[in-house]
Amino acid sequence: MFRKVVVGISGGVDSAVATLILKNKGFNVCALFMQNWDIKDEMGICTSDEDFKDASEVCKKLNVPIYYVNFVKEYWNEVFSI
């Protein structure tokens, strides 16, 4: 049985709870934050920085390592440009 799990974490409740459940079940969990968008909203704010901060705080409390990857280019080219 696999004991290592990578969880996509957004900084929201659902991914935080999923991470906690997996950790409590004995899995060796690490978290992955994927930035897929970088365009600012109409107020000039890109929330990905705040989302990563929230995700990092959750992981710190759960003692789970978090990794950040930027897929903005791939997301644009492989999702929107097709």
CATH number reported for the structural domain that contains residue 58 in this entry: 3.40.50.620
Q: Which pLDDT belongs to residue 17?
A: 96
pLDDT value, residue 27: 96
> From first to last of its 82 residues, what are the pLDDT tens digits of the chain?
678 999 999 888 999 999 999 999 999 999 999 988 776 655 666 678 888 999 999 999 999 999 999 988 888 888 877 6
The count of domains in the chain is 1
Which residues have a Cβ under 8 Å from the Cβ of 51 and sit 6 or more positions away?
10, 11, 33
Domain, as residue range, for 58:
4-80
Pairing of strands 4-8, 66-70: unpaired
State residue 47's pLDDT score. Answer: 74
pLDDT value for 21? 96
